[in-house]
Amino acid sequence: QVQLVQSGSELKKPGASVKVSCKASGYTFNNYNINWVRQAPGQGPEWMGWIHSNTGKPTYAQAFTGRYVLSLDTSVNTAYLQISGLKAEDTAVYYCARKSLCGSSACYGAFDLWGQGTLVTVSS
Amino acid sequence: QSALTQPPSASGSPGQSVTISCTGTSSDVGGYNFVSWYQQYPGKAPKLMIYDVTKRPSGVPDRFSASKSGNTASLTVSGLQPDDEADYFCTSYGGTNVLLFGGGTKLSVL
């Protein structure tokens, strides 16, 4: 079955770190890049960045530099999002999403497979 | 760059059509043909409904169509059905390392 399965909910204190995993199955992991999207409660989504599934090279949106690290472990078909120095405003659902392959089009923003989301709650 | 602007809500009766707008700028929606639309049920992950402004992925009903004029993209849902009731988000490429989302529109089927 083609799917992305994310790790479970996390409750963290301010200043702590969290690492969210996103395990792919049912397709060739190296053929599709992985993006990450944050959705705060009651808000629209925000694109955080993406990681190249072959090279492991991450690219970050401007608002997500510094405390955020995207990484891969291709041996287990898994992508990771690590956030350090957690703040209350990091409380959100974090999604990994597979970038579509669209033939000759770059189809930016087309994500055809999503993980179920991981709720990260930051509270003292 | 700011998020794209969507109306917070839209509604229609079963069988009717409803159109949801997504307004950006010439640096994003108006500058590229990379607008996507997503459907999201509460507590669920988004589902891709439209990409590259007008293209439907396999499996998406042709009741869902989309277009763009200038800096505004639009999603039209025809023949409204009860399970179309969901949140809808637009996205647009905004240049290198920029992908913007709209704030979302809650579609109600009355």
Q: pLDDT by residue (tens digit) across A27-48?
A: 999 999 999 999 999 888 999 9
* Rounded distance between C-alpha atoms, residue A53 and residue B89, angstroms: 26
Chain B nearest CA to A62, separation (Å): 8
Q: What residue in A sits closest to B98 (Cα-Cα)?
A: A61
Chain B CB within 8 Å of residue A9 CB: no
pLDDT in tens, chain B (110 residues): 568 999 999 999 999 999 999 999 999 999 999 999 999 999 899 999 999 999 999 999 999 999 999 999 999 999 999 999 999 999 999 999 999 999 999 999 99
Please state the rounded mean pLDDT for residues A105-114: 92
Q: What residue in B sits closest to A49 (Cα-Cα)?
A: B97
Nearest Cβ partner for A59 among B97, B100, B104: B97
